[in-house]
Amino acid sequence: MNSILYLVFPYILFLILLRTYAYKNPRFSSLSTNSDKNISEDLNKLYKINEELVTNEREDEDDDEDDQDELQNTDFEDIAHKSLESAEEEATVDLENAEIENLLDEELYKKD
C-alpha cells in the first residue's frame, strides 16, 4: 500500500502543478520575459548615459587642473595672509559672543 502511495502521490502532484500555470500568474510576472523590449533602445540609453558620465568626468578633471594652476600661481604669503585674516575675524566673533553671554549671565544673576 505504501509503495503505491509513493508512486501515485508524486504523479498527482505533478498533474496539479501542470494545471496551475503558475508562470502566468501576475505574482510571478518577473519569471516571464517581455519580448516587446527592444535591446537596441536600451543600448542607446546606456550609451547616452555613459557619454554623459565621461563628459562630466572630463569637466571635473579640467576644474581640478584649474584649481591646481591657481594654487601654483598664487604666492604662499598671500594664502597665509588670507587665512590669518579669516582666523582673526572668527576669533573676534567668538570673543564678542562670549562677552554677550557673560553679560546675559550677569543680568540673570542680578535678577535672581
Rounded-to-integer distance, Cα 96 and Cα 90, Å:
10
- Distance CA(21)–CA(28), nearest Å, equals 10
Cell of 112: 535672581
Would you say residue 22 lies in a domain?
yes
Domain assignment present for 79: no
* AA identity, residue 86: S
Q: What is the Cα–Cα distance from 4 to 11, expressed in whole angstroms?
A: 11
* 17, part of any domain: yes
Query: How many domains does one find in the chain?
Result: 1
Range of the domain at 6: 1-32
Q: Is residue 9 part of a domain?
A: yes
In this prediction, residue 78 carries a pLDDT of 82
Q: Is residue 28 domain-resident?
A: yes
User: What is the pLDDT tens value at each position of the chain, 112 positions in all?
Assistant: 677 878 888 888 887 877 766 556 566 555 555 555 677 787 888 889 999 988 888 888 877 776 666 666 667 778 888 899 999 999 999 999 999 988 888 887 777 5
pTM: 0.32
**Domain assignment present for 10:** yes
Instruction: Quote the DSSP letter at residue 35.
Output: T
For residue 89, the number of C-alpha atoms closer than 13 Å in the C-beta half-sphere is 6
Asked, for residue 20, whether it belongs to a domain, the answer is yes
- What pLDDT, on the 0 to 100 scale, is given for residue 86? 92
The answer to whether position 54 is within a domain reads: no
